Chain A
Amino acid sequence: MASALRGAILGHVRVPIRTLDRSRSLTCLQTSIRSMSSHGDDHLTREEVVDRVLDVVKSFPKVDPAKVTPDVHFQTDLGLDSLDNVEIVMALEEEFKLEIPDKEADQIVSCPLAIEYIAAHPMAS
């Protein structure tokens, strides 16, 4: 009878939030790890990043694919224009689903810089 009343009351009362007591071990582990969240599981390995960046650069129509190595400079080594550089950065943004701010996009002028930027970006996928 008291438990039924308590059940009815608890149906209308909000569960209080209180700071975690460290003596309850297993349940607190399950609630602190967000096990069903898919946030942040797109970690790319560095070889993947290098391969995909090189693929993007090689598939650019004005680029000779044989000359592309992981340390080319777009304008000096590959003979591209600054506008071509902008196009390559946009292609990289599309490939890795990134949003690069304008100031930093201006600075990406070579393959190693692009690889460093993408590998260090937490949301690259």
Chain B
Amino acid sequence: MSAAGAAGAAAGYLARRAAQKERVRLLYRRALKDTLNWAVNRHHFYQHASDLREKFEANKHAEDLDTIDRLIQDGEASYGKLRHPDPYIVPWAPGGSKFCRNPPPPAGIEIVYDYGREDD
């Protein structure tokens, strides 16, 4: 019973760690995208991306679950402040400039080009 309890606790611990790792990856991805959005020239992007990676690496070896949770929360709060107001989105994606721009017309509907010849 204690073994089952320990296994259950270990599974819960691993599940929490996995969820935290996923949150960290998501946060890193979004922060990197915003770094790309904010960087005016490409070398600025490389510099800021390295700084971001340093910040993530500095907290890499935290062990306690609550500390990790708090670090992730702080990271997400600072990410929320640094979001770009007009991010670059690929044109055909939702939010991009070409999204829904020229949808293909419904099948069977056509304009018949017989201007002036309708009575023929």
Contacts and interface: CB of A to CB of B under 8 A. Distances in A.
- On whether the two chains bind one another, the answer is yes
Interface string A46-78: 000000000000000000000000000000000
Contacts of A21: 112
A19 B92 contact: no
B33 interface: yes
Contacts of B49: 87
Say which size band chain A's interface belongs to: 20 to 34
Contact of B112 (A6, A18, A90): A18
Contacts of A98: 90
Contacts of A35: none
* Most chain A CB atoms below 10 A, which of B29, B30, B56, B115: B29
Contact of A99 (B93, B102, B116): B93
Given A39-B102, A99-B89, A106-B22, A31 B29 contact: no
A82 B29 contact: no
A88 B25 CA distance: 12
A31 B115 contact: no
Interface stretch (B1-9, B61-69, B103-111): B103-111
Nearest to B119: A6
Nearest to A21: B112
Contacts of A32: 110
A19 B108 contact: yes
Interface string A86-125: 1101100000011100100110000000000000000100
Given A17-B109, A39-B102, 16 more contacts: A6-B116, A15-B111, A15-B115, A17-B112, A27-B113, A31-B110, A82-B25, A83-B28, A83-B56, A86-B25, A89-B29, A99-B92, A99-B96, A102-B29, A102-B30, A123-B90
Interface of A: 6-7, 10, 15, 17-21, 24, 27-28, 31-32, 34, 37, 39, 82-83, 85-87, 89-90, 97-99, 102, 105-106, 123
8 contacts: A17-B111, A19-B108, A83-B25, A83-B56, A90-B33, A98-B90, A99-B93, A99-B96
